[in-house]
Amino acid sequence: MEESQPHQVRDKYHRPIRDLRISVTDRCNFRCVYCMPREVFGPGYSFVPRSELLRLEEIHRVARIFAQEGVTKIRITGGEPLIRRDLEQLIEMIAGIDGIRDLSMTTNASMLTSQRASSLYDAGLARINISLDALDEETFQKINDVKFPVSNVLTGIDNAIAAGFSDVKINSVIRKGFNDHSILDLVRYFRGSGATLRFIEFMDVGSTNQWQREQVIPASQMIDIIRAEFPIAPVSPNYQGEVAKRWRYLDGLGEIGFITSVTHPFCGDCSRARISAVGKIYTCLFASDGYDLKNLIREGVSDAVLARFVRDTWTNRIDRYSELRGEESQVSNNPMRVEMSHIGG
């Protein structure tokens, strides 16, 4: 059932705004080939000057305005959000906003020490999504491209669970011929572990990951691979617009999810807005242009003006890129999409 919100701001396709993803930095300590490939983000690449990033009080204000317009879920993203040293303070500030019922974060877990996990939990973070695309060292280091050991990420996952997080999700982007051999390895490792594994079809996010449709392994094929060893069955979604298609292990050892943006787009139920590290609103993960909120904030406008800007941005929204991906004109007319490192996943 759809939740009632204060304004129920809706876009041109009658989609409400419920979810907000906020990037707190464009920097990351990994150079994952599908997100920040080294040939683009290597030596000489200029990251955003820290003065251009939204400050804590600015992020808090943005989150509060969006909550007034109907947002109930906020996810902190990057880059790698744990690079932001004042992150716990921000989490505590956002957790105190009326109407925010779900506060989560996406991380690569490379910096998720036991102390950091506990401090984030104590600050009010409810859930953690951790990116992990392979378990064997060769493939994992080929993906992160910084020679970072997979064992340290697994330790970060253990630290999250030990800190008290009851909802830890492991996100794995699967690319044909690259890490598809990792599917069953990941299933075997996380089944019954207390963490929920989610497989993501390789998407054409940004303009630098050299996406080709031939490299996409459909979720249906992943399901067949898994079912050959572990009986699973579909589960009804928790709410309208839930991104992952849920399946459960028939032996009771947890769930598994599949995010099918390529083969079965979910644009029709998309309720997500994104704030980039420099304070621009993006109304689609595959957008090329954002709407500058930071300049308004630093010009000193009132909350009412900011709220009107948010409403106008959302009510004019017509994005449905994934549904149009198959049309050649959609790709050619949108050649320079915003990079994932600027707006998170």
Strands 272-275 and 280-282, by their bridges, are antiparallel
Query: How many angstroms separate the Cα of 200 from the Cα of each of 51, 91, 177, 343?
Result: 34, 27, 15, 17
> Which tokens go with 19?
């979810």
d(CA 140, CA 142): 5
Of the candidates 298, 269, 294, 297, the residue with the CA atom closest to the CA atom of residue 281: 294
Q: Are strands 127-131 and 195-201 parallel, antiparallel or unpaired?
A: unpaired
For domain 19-343, give its CATH number from 3.20.20.70, 3.90.1150.10, 3.30.413.10, 3.30.70.980: 3.20.20.70
Answer whether residue 208 shows pLDDT above 90. no
> Residue range 48-52: average pLDDT?
93
Reported confidence tier of residue 126, pLDDT bands at 50, 70, 90 = very high
Q: HSE of 315 in the Cβ direction (CA atoms, 13 Å)?
A: 10
70 pLDDT above the threshold of 70: yes
Q: Is the pLDDT confidence value at 7 over 80?
A: no
pLDDT of residue 298: 97
**pLDDT band, very low/low/confident/very high, at 190 (cuts 50, 70, 90):** very high
> Among 7-11, 39-43, 109-113, which range has the highest average pLDDT?
109-113
Give the CA count within 13 Å in the CB-facing half-sphere of 93. Answer: 16
Q: 3-class SS at 183?
A: helix
Q: Return the axis-axis angle of helices 87-95 and 114-123, rounded to nearest 10°.
A: 30
Confidence class for position 331, pLDDT limits 50, 70, 90 = very low
Q: In what order do the strands lie in the sheet with 291-292?
A: 232-234, 245-249, 255-259, 195-201, 168-174, 127-131, 102-107, 73-77, 19-23, 272-275, 280-282, 291-292
Confidence of residue 104 (pLDDT cuts 50, 70, 90): very high
pLDDT value at residue 1: 35
Look up residue 337 and give its DSSP letter. P
Residue with tokens 């067949």: 224
Q: Which residues of 67-77 are buried (b: 16+ CB within 10 A; e: fewer)?
A: bbbbbbbbbbb
Q: Which token pair is 61?
A: 């204000």
Domain ranges for the chain, please list them.
19-343
Give me the pLDDT at residue 209, please. Answer: 61
Distance CA 145, CA 178 (A): 14
pLDDT tens-place string over residues 253-263: 999 999 998 88
Q: So what's the pLDDT on residue 210?
A: 66
Using the structure block, give the residue that is written with the tokens 């992990």: 132
Would strands 232-234 and 195-201 be described as parallel, antiparallel, or unpaired?
unpaired
Residue-level pLDDT at 28: 93
DSSP state of 283: S
